[in-house]
């Protein structure tokens, strides 16, 4: 390992106004001995074998027994049996596995199931109405033909839903930026933008 | 991925006690899982950072706060999405918001953290494939230098030509006296927690000549905790990408200007994606000092100066022209932020 | 008896009446004057809701009781012969139920990704863990991945059986090439201007988002049921029937929904891996269902690809603007395949005497396979640029020049209508800008020939309650086949599209073709019409089709349901035996960074009769976006020293994302083409052809004010590095340097 380079307190001070000194420098070298000295309760270490993991998915609680290495995507597909989130690139580069965590779009392939904790997972299935009816956004995807082979569609719809929740009014460029983590090999982007804009307009009218 | 166990500490002290070369801290996990899936990294244990509480009395692990004196404190666990959307960051050091907004994809920005972004490993295809002999993985040579290196370093590339992947690092480097706080357990009987701060431009980044195995001077038992950024409102970060939807920067530049009246009193210009570590370009900064804020000839001179000393390889000469452009544009973007 | 019937054919620009010999039992063709209620309207695809809600089941989604999971152990790089493959540790690994070595000692390892062994385990993770325990001892051998060195005489060869890596006659055969060149050389003597140019295109991988994959379940009767991500349901049935030596009747292939194919998915295997056959053997041996899905790196390695091309082109013209000759010597690599490289230059333009000689250079990379308009985008990339370069040499507008060279009435109409809509004349004349951002426009053209053919059968079943099922075993790979059949049958029976249920993608249904050559819809669409007409005439008689009439007639019909079938014969007389298209592209080039942004595309496309305007336009938009992606981004990169793939993911293998493409405008040219009872032609491939060449031309136009104005990027992908190289060469030339 590299030898620890100088803490550079001197360098850090250099040129800083007096008022700023209360900032970083204030912390340098402070030993929080009291806390560290306390005999910590044993830290739970799970796995590497199967361990209990509770997931809240589309409003339902699932108690699973999975290894810590299992990604959220694999848990959703292989253990819970959902089909919406797809594995495409397995590296967070395509968005095919997009799900919402407390309403925020994330890639299921780059998150461990064990890391989800109490957060509510919503997949494309969970965007439907209670009777399985397509949501307004899903209907617009169909109406505008914003899908071809359909393999990217679940991730696209979910990413777009996350986008609409964070920003209800969007320009076409903002839609493109907002779904820029999703790839479509059939080339449906033009119509996805139309579908998202149309949904945004419908939701505003509905309010 | 190979199986690993998963530790769930709730205090920083417990995290630090657990960390080791085979027990790695996990925050957003994007880089960690990518390396694990590729077999480059095979941690025996992941140490979850999501449950540790904010330490009383120390800087915060979470959140963006404005300290006395107007400087920003950003916890290492803050996500890129939060940084990009933070009104405080946009006001106090907009270059960092630019850099965060330009990173990766919306999904990744929702999860990836400041700490993970700064400490992520290079994207070099040779480094990320255990098949190759690679200096960065303890090997003896750099296969990229004689191989495919179109997107690789044009400075400091004699030994290893991987570029530093962090655009937030480039932005932070441009801020004068930007610092990072790290936390570790003191060696010795007491075993107390020890903070240290390190200035980004003074020893945080490690060149391959000094140690090819790492890019940052963080010890295995040490945790990146927070970043401090003095106010630098006249600042901007710009990167050039081949593809506009998720692509790593071909070249990047962060500019911080100290403006007095209509003059540039001082400037700091950081270059990203062109060397194994982010670089501060003193020749570029010098070309701006004392010049008029809108002296475009000075911008051009600074842009040209930034490419001084470049040593492009057989297949990446285009990055020199791109670098000139991105420096010029970053200066222009910073100037646009002066009132 | 077949009868001749007068039929009005043509399109907005021209209609005429022709005599068409309609086979017995086929209805009157929908001619140019047909009054159609549903056909040609905008109908959302009928499986859209299933896809948008996650309910559509793809092969990767199939979960069965007792399912086990297979992974293939693959060669890490090309090498010499296999010394040994040791799977003993894998056999003992937790959960492993089956291991079989696929490459024997003494056999060569031709490429990274070559099948070495298959491992089947209880869980996907256990299979992956076991793969890591497999060991291969492989002799070292030469690395042959660079085309230029591989084609030199004296280069080590990929296939030990031959003494050269070069195979003449990529597609057309070598026989006539020499004679054609002699003729073209003679014609070239008349030229006042001869341009010699070399154009290059890269290897592109299909990268369908759903990887190749199978789920195979042994059945009680000794047969198997196989779910497969395929563009040929029956090719899967036939492949497994052959591999397992069981009757075709006992192989049930299912491809209900398919996550893209683009040419790479025929049969039960991938082009570079026999994982499907091996998974089937494992399933039979285990008497358990086995799932084997390729990962993304495997897709790039063994899933097939579009070959590269180097096209040495000569074009000669007189000062008056007559092109007298066009010749091309073309080589490229199709990986370990011994053919398939080359490029197609269909004769869109009158080019005088033409000649082509094609060579495939064998290298140690995954074998190529058909990819959306095989050979055509490559040929078009060269041809369209050569046309523009000659137009520039003649100081003629590229559109004017094409109008002079192109006699096809549909395309001529498209050129003129498209130019108006696009604003070609103004954009061409407009200054390209003075700052770093330069705009330019370019264009290119497409031709396609397929209008489907005979062999398929579609059944239409009328149920007593008036509901209707349409069935064919072919697959819908995202093209909209399912919807097209529903539209046609609804039209005939007077129903709404929603009243028609379509069953596709099962080999126990009537035969349908594989999706290649843009033939699926045009092959089975007319069958659907013919079957529906039979149903109409039997159930409705002379009554005017309507929902009410149909319902009441069904209630009165004999039996609980009646099934009618329809086929189709070879194409009969038609307006023209080809389809036409052209595209107009506007780009913005950042001359400081070399980054190219496509800001506008207008695609004019003919596919004969348009059945569903909505999904037809989607096909064109998708083809254009695929073209942009190939033109600017995609490139399979191999390490020259080791032959190992460097970008086997979807990050460093760049595919155009939402911010990399403009809104693509499509104008379908509806041509009543006759040829079959519906008048359909193929659509999937032709709009993928002209995009890259048009972009290259637009880039050249954008850069016409830079340096000496000569900058043009003749190599795809047109990366920032290549754009900058072209700009800097033009800047040097302007300064008098070289």
Q: Place C736 in a pLDDT band, splitting at 50, 70 and 90.
A: confident
* Structural class in CATH, domain C165-206+305-407: alpha beta
Over residues A119-142, the pLDDT tens digits come to 999 999 999 998 999 999 999 999
The Cα–Cα gap between C505 and C528 comes to 15
Domain boundaries, chain A: 51-206
- Residue showing tokens 């063709």: C29
Q: How many other CB atoms are found less than 10 A from the CB of residue C219?
A: 12
- Residue of chain C nearest A179, judged by CA positions: C658
pLDDT at A18 over 70: no
Q: Place B192 in a pLDDT band, splitting at 50, 70 and 90.
A: confident
The Cα–Cα gap between B154 and C192 comes to 46
- Name chain C's partners: 3 or more CB pairs within 8 A: A, B
- Residue of chain A nearest C477, judged by CA positions: A149
- H and E: helices and strands count for chain C: 18, 26
CB contact under 8 A, B108 and A92: yes
Could you tell me if C49 lies within 8 Å of chain A, comparing CB atoms?
yes
CB contact under 8 A, A180 and C615: no
Mean pLDDT for the stretch of residues C291-313: 98
CB contact under 8 A, A112 and B33: yes
C19, C21, C210 from C3: Cα distances, Å: 9, 5, 47
Q: Place C737 in a pLDDT band, splitting at 50, 70 and 90.
A: low
Over residues B37-91, the pLDDT tens digits come to 999 999 999 999 999 876 656 778 999 999 888 999 999 999 999 999 999 999 9
Over residues A148-196, the pLDDT tens digits come to 999 999 999 999 999 999 999 999 999 999 999 999 999 999 999 999 9
Q: Place B202 in a pLDDT band, splitting at 50, 70 and 90.
A: confident
Question: Residue A29's pLDDT is what?
Answer: 42
The Cα–Cα gap between A183 and A153 comes to 10
User: Is cis: bond before A76, omega within 30 of 0?
Assistant: no
Question: Residue C160's pLDDT is what?
Answer: 93
Over residues C38-56, the pLDDT tens digits come to 999 999 999 999 999 999 9
The Cα–Cα gap between C230 and C476 comes to 9
Q: Which of C51, C298, C475, C583 should be substituted to probe chain A, the one whose Cβ sees the most A Cβ atoms within 10 Å?
A: C51
pLDDT at A37 over 90: no
Instruction: Show Cβ contacts of residue A120 under 8 Å, excluding neighbours closer than 6 positions.
Output: A56, A59, A100, A101, A102, A103
Mean pLDDT for the stretch of residues C693-708: 97
Q: Place C352 in a pLDDT band, splitting at 50, 70 and 90.
A: very high
Please, what is the average pLDDT of chain B? 94
Sign of CA dihedral B154, B159, B161, B163: negative
Instruction: Please name which of C359, C371, C358 lies closest in space to residue C150, comparing C-alpha atoms.
Output: C359
Q: Place C349 in a pLDDT band, splitting at 50, 70 and 90.
A: very high
Residues C229, C210 contacting (CB under 8 angstroms): yes
CA distance A35 to chain C (A): 40
Q: Could you tell me the two tokens for B87?
A: 């009104």
pLDDT at C608 over 70: yes
Residues C278, C165 contacting (CB under 8 angstroms): no
Beta bridge partners of A61: A56
Mean pLDDT for the stretch of residues B124-139: 97
Q: Could you tell me the two tokens for C698?
A: 């637009």
User: Is cis: bond before C333, omega within 30 of 0?
Assistant: no
Quick check: helix, strand or coil at residue C484? helix
Residues C532, C509 contacting (CB under 8 angstroms): no
CB contact under 8 A, B242 and C637: no
C83, C117, C119 from C134: Cα distances, Å: 14, 8, 9
Residues C341, C307 contacting (CB under 8 angstroms): yes
Residues C582, C665 contacting (CB under 8 angstroms): no
The CA-to-CA distance between both ends of chain C, in Å, stands at: 73
Q: Place A6 in a pLDDT band, splitting at 50, 70 and 90.
A: very low
How far from the centroid of its chain's Cα atoms is residue C205's Cα? 11
Q: Place C174 in a pLDDT band, splitting at 50, 70 and 90.
A: low
Q: A51-206 — its CATH code?
A: 3.10.20.30
Q: Place C451 in a pLDDT band, splitting at 50, 70 and 90.
A: confident
| % of chain C at pLDDT higher than 90 | 93
Residues B339, C609 contacting (CB under 8 angstroms): no
Mean pLDDT for the stretch of residues B275-288: 98
Residues C451, C497 contacting (CB under 8 angstroms): no
Closest in B5, B68, B197 to A22, CB measured: B68
Question: Residue C738's pLDDT is what?
Answer: 52
pLDDT at C93 over 70: yes
Mean pLDDT for the stretch of residues A90-101: 98
Where along chain C do the CATH 3.30.365.10 domains lie? 1-35+410-451+573-738, 57-65+213-303, 165-206+305-407, 453-570
Percentages helix, strand, coil for chain A, rounded to the nearest 5?
Answer: 40, 15, 45
Over residues B16-45, the pLDDT tens digits come to 989 999 999 999 999 999 999 999 999 999
Q: Could you tell me the two tokens for C15?
A: 């209609």
Query: Dihedrals φ, ψ of C39, to 5°?
Result: -60, 130
Parallel, antiparallel, or unpaired for β A120-122 and A51-57? parallel
CATH architecture label of B60-111+121-339 = 2-Layer Sandwich (3.30)
Least confidently predicted of B182-196, B306-320, C227-241, C330-344: B182-196
Q: Place B191 in a pLDDT band, splitting at 50, 70 and 90.
A: low
Mean pLDDT for the stretch of residues C533-554: 96
The Cα–Cα gap between B6 and A177 comes to 35
Beta bridge partners of A111: none
CB contact under 8 A, C657 and B250: no
- Residue of chain B nearest A180, judged by CA positions: B245
pLDDT at C722 over 50: yes
Query: Dihedrals φ, ψ of B306, to 5°?
Result: -65, -25
The Cα–Cα gap between C720 and C403 comes to 32
Beta bridge partners of C291: C69, C215
CA distance C261 to chain A (A): 9
Mean pLDDT for the stretch of residues A28-54: 69
Tell me the longest C-alpha to C-alpha distance in chain C. Answer: 88
Angle at C381 between CA C341 and CA C591, to 5 degrees: 130
- Name chain A's partners: 3 or more CB pairs within 8 A: B, C
Q: C453-570 — its CATH code?
A: 3.30.365.10
The Cα–Cα gap between A194 and A160 comes to 11
CB contact under 8 A, A43 and B9: yes
The CA-based dihedral angle spanning residues B73, B79, B82, B85, taken in that order and rounded to the nearest 10 degrees: 100
Chain C CB contacts of A179 below 8 Å: 658
Burial pattern B179-204, b for ≥16 Cβ within 10 A else e, equals bbbbbbbeeeeebbbbbbbbbbbbbb
pLDDT at C135 over 70: yes
Q: Could you tell me the two tokens for C262?
A: 């683009």
* Structural class in CATH, domain C68-148: alpha beta
Q: Which of A3, A12, A19, A27 should be substituted to probe chain B, the one whose Cβ sees the most B Cβ atoms within 10 Å?
A: A27
- Residue of chain A nearest C600, judged by CA positions: A190
CB contact under 8 A, C633 and B242: yes
Q: Is C1 exposed, middle or buried (0-12, 13-18, 19+ CB in 10 A)?
A: exposed
Q: Which residue has the higher pLDDT, C551 or B202?
A: C551
Residues C229, C258 contacting (CB under 8 angstroms): yes
CB contact under 8 A, A89 and C479: no
Say which DSSP state B22 is in. Answer: T
B153, B278, C138, C641 from C111: Cα distances, Å: 30, 38, 12, 13
CA distance A36 to chain C (A): 38
Beta bridge partners of C115: C74
Q: How many other CB atoms are found less than 10 A from the CB of residue C256?
A: 21
CA distance C434 to chain B (A): 16
Residues B179, B227 contacting (CB under 8 angstroms): yes
The Cα–Cα gap between B36 and A111 comes to 12
Q: Could you tell me the two tokens for C697?
A: 């031309």
Instruction: Show Cβ contacts of residue B12 under 8 Å, excluding neighbours closer than 6 positions.
Output: A35, B52, B55, B61, B183, B193, B223, B225
Mean pLDDT for the stretch of residues C657-664: 97
Q: How many other CB atoms are found less than 10 A from the CB of residue B262?
A: 10
Residues C611, C618 contacting (CB under 8 angstroms): no
CB contact under 8 A, B106 and A162: yes
Q: Which residue has the higher pLDDT, C617 or C2?
A: C617
**Residue ranges of C 279-318 with Cβ closer than 8 A to chain A:** 295-296
Q: Place C440 in a pLDDT band, splitting at 50, 70 and 90.
A: very high
ipTM of the complex: 0.97
Q: Which of C588, C632, C653, C720 should be substituted to probe chain B, the one whose Cβ sees the most B Cβ atoms within 10 Å?
A: C720
Q: Which residue has the higher pLDDT, A14 or A61?
A: A61
| CATH value of C57-65+213-303 in 3.40.50.720, 3.30.365.10, 1.10.287.110, 1.10.3720.10 | 3.30.365.10
Q: Which of C598, C632, C646 should be substituted to probe chain B, the one whose Cβ sees the most B Cβ atoms within 10 Å?
A: C646
Question: Residue A161's pLDDT is what?
Answer: 98
The Cα–Cα gap between C72 and A134 comes to 38
Closest in B242, B315, B328 to C720, CB measured: B242
CA distance B190 to chain A (A): 7
Q: Could you tell me the two tokens for A132?
A: 């399985």
Please, what is the average pLDDT of chain C? 96
Chain B CB contacts of C658 below 8 Å: 245
Question: Residue A21's pLDDT is what?
Answer: 30
Over residues C494-533, the pLDDT tens digits come to 999 999 999 999 999 999 999 998 999 999 999 999 999 9
- Residue showing tokens 């001359």: C591
CB contact under 8 A, A148 and C56: no
């Amino acid at each position: 390992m590299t030898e620890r380079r100088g803490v550079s307190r001197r360098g850090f001070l250099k040129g800083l106004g007096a008022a700023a000194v209360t900032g970083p420098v204030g912390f340098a070298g402070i030993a929080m001995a009291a806390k560290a000295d306390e005999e910590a309760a044993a830290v739970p270490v799970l796995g590497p074998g199967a361990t209990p993991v509770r997931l809240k998915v589309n409003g339902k609680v699932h108690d699973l027994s999975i290894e810590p290495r299992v990604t959220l995507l694999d848990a959703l597909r292989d253990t819970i049996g959902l089909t919406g989130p797809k594995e495409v690139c397995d590296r967070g580069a395509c968005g095919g596995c997009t799900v919402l965590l407390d309403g925020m779009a994330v890639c299921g392939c780059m998150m461990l199931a064990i890391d989800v904790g109490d957060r509510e997972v919503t997949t494309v299935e969970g965007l439907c109405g209670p009777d399985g009816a397509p949501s307004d956004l899903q209907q617009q995807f169909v109406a505008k033909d914003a899908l071809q082979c359909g393999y990217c569609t679940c991730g696209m719809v979910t990413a777009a839903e996350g986008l609409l929740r964070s920003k209800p009014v969007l320009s076409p460029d903002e839609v493109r930026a907002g779904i820029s983590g999703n790839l479509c090999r059939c080339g449906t982007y033009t119509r996805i933008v139309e579908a998202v804009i149309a949904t945004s307009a419908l939701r505003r009218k509905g309010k | 991925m190979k199986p690993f166990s998963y530790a769930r500490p709730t205090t920083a002290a417990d995290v630090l006690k657990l960390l080791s070369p085979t027990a790695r801290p996990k925050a957003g996990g994007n880089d960690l899982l990518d390396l694990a899936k590729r077999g480059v990294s095979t941690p025996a244990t992941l140490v979850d950072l999501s449950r540790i509480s904010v330490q009383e009395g120390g800087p915060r692990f979470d959140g963006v706060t404005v300290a006395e004196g107007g400087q920003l404190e950003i916890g290492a666990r803050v996500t890129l999405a939060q940084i990009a959307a933070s009104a405080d960051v946009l006001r106090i050091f907009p270059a960092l918001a630019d850099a965060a907004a330009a990173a990766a994809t919306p999904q990744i920005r929702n999860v990836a953290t400041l700490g993970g972004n700064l400490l992520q490993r290079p994207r070099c295809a040779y480094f990320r494939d255990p098949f190759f002999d690679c200096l960065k993985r303890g090997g003896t040579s750099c296969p990229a230098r004689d191989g495919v290196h179109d997107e690789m370093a044009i400075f400091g590339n004699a030994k290893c030509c991987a570029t530093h992947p962090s655009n937030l690092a480039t932005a932070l480097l441009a801020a004068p006296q930007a610092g990072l706080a790290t936390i570790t357990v003191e060696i010795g009987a007491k075993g107390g927690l020890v903070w240290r701060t390190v200035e980004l431009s003074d020893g945080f980044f490690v060149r391959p000549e000094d140690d090819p195995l790492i890019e940052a001077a963080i010890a295995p038992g040490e945790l990146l905790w927070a970043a401090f950024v003095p106010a630098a409102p006249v600042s901007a970060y710009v990167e050039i990408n081949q593809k506009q939807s998720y692509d790593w920067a071909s070249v990047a530049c962060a500019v911080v200007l100290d403006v007095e009246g209509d003059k540039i009193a001082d400037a700091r210009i950081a270059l990203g994606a062109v060397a194994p570590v982010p670089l501060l370009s003193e020749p570029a900064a010098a070309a701006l000092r004392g010049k008029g804020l809108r002296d475009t000839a000075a911008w051009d001179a600074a842009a040209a100066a930034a490419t001084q000393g470049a040593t492009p390889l057989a297949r990446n000469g285009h990055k020199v022209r791109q670098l000139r452009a991105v420096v010029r544009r970053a200066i222009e973007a910073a100037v646009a932020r002066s009132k | 008896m077949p009868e001749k019937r007068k039929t009005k054919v043509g399109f907005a620009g021209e209609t005429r009446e022709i005599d068409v010999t309609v086979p017995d039992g086929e209805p009157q063709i929908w001619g140019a004057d047909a009054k159609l209620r549903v056909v040609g309207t905008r109908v959302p695809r009928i499986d859209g809701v299933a896809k948008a809600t996650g309910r559509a089941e793809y092969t990767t989604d199939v979960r069965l009781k007792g399912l086990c999971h297979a992974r293939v152990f693959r060669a890490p790089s090309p090498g010499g012969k296999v010394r040994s493959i040791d799977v003993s540790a894998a056999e003992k690994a937790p959960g492993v139920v089956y291991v079989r070595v696929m490459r024997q000692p003494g056999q060569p390892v031709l490429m990274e990704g070559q099948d070495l062994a298959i491992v089947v385990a209880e869980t996907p993770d256990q299979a992956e863990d076991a793969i890591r325990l497999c060991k291969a001892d492989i002799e070292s051998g030469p690395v042959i991945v660079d085309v230029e060195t591989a084609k030199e005489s004296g280069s080590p060869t990929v296939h030990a059986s031959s003494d050269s890596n070069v195979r003449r006659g990529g597609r057309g055969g070598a026989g006539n090439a020499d004679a054609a060149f002699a003729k073209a050389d003679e014609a070239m003597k008349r030229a006042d201007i001869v341009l010699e140019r070399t154009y290059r295109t890269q290897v592109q991988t299909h990268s369908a988002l759903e990887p190749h994959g199978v789920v195979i379940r042994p059945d009680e009767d000794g047969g198997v049921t196989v779910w497969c991500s395929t563009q040929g349901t029956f090719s899967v049935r036939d492949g497994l029937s052959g591999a397992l030596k069981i009757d075709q009747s006992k192989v049930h292939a299912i491809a209900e929904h398919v996550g893209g194919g683009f040419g790479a998915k025929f049969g039960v295997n991938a082009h570079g891996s026999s994982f499907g056959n091996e998974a089937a053997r494992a399933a039979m041996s285990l008497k358990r269902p086995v799932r084997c899905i390729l990962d993304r790196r495997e897709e790039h390695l063994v899933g097939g690809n579009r070959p590269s091309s180097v096209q040495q082109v000569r074009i000669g013209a007189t000062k008056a603007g007559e092109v007298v000759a066009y010749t091309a010597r073309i080589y490229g690599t199709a990986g370990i395949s011994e053919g398939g490289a080359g490029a197609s230059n269909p004769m869109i333009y009158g080019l005088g005497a033409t000649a082509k000689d094609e060579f495939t250079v064998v290298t140690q990379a995954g074998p190529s396979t058909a990819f959306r308009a095989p050979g055509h985008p490559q040929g078009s990339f060269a041809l369209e640029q050569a046309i523009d370069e000659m137009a520039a040499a003649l100081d003629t507008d590229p559109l004017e020049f094409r109008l002079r060279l192109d006699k096809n009435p549909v395309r001529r109409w498209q050129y003129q209508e498209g130019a108006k809509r696009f604003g070609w004349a103004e954009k061409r004349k407009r200054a390209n800008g003075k700052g770093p951002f330069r705009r330019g426009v370019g264009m290119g053209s497409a031709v396609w020939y397929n209008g489907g053919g005979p062999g398929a059968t579609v059944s239409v079943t009328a149920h007593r309650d008036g509901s209707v099922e349409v069935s064919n075993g072919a697959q819908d790979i995202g093209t909209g086949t399912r919807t097209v059949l529903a539209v046609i049958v609804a039209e005939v029976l007077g129903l709404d599209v929603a009243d028609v249920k379509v069953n596709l993608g099962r080999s126990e249904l009537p035969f349908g073709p594989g999706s290649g050559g843009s033939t699926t819809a045009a092959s089975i669409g007319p069958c659907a019409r013919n079957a529906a007409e039979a149903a109409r005439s039997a159930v409705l008689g002379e009554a005017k089709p309507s929902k009410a009439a149909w319902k009441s007639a069904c209630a009165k019909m004999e039996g609980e349901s009646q099934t009618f079938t329809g086929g189709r014969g070879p194409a009969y007389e038609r307006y023209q035996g080809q389809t036409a298209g052209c595209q107009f592209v506007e780009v913005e080039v950042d001359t400081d960074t070399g980054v190219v942004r496509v800001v506008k595309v207008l695609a004019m496309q003919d596919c004969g009769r348009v059945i569903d305007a909505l999904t037809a336009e989607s096909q064109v938009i998708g083809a254009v976006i695929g073209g942009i992606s190939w033109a600017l981004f995609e490139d399979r990169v191999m390490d020259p020293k080791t032959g190992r793939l460097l970008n086997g993911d979807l990050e460093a293998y760049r595919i155009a994302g939402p911010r990399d493409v403009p809104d693509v405008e499509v104008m379908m040219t509806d041509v009543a083409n006759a040829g079959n009872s519906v008048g359909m032609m193929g659509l999937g491939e032709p709009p993928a052809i002209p995009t890259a060449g048009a972009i290259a031309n637009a880039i050249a136009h954008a850069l016409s004010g830079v340096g000496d104005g000569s900058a043009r990027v003749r190599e795809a992908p047109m990366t920032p590095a290549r754009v900058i190289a072209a700009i800097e060469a033009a800047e040097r030339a302007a300064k008098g340097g070289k």
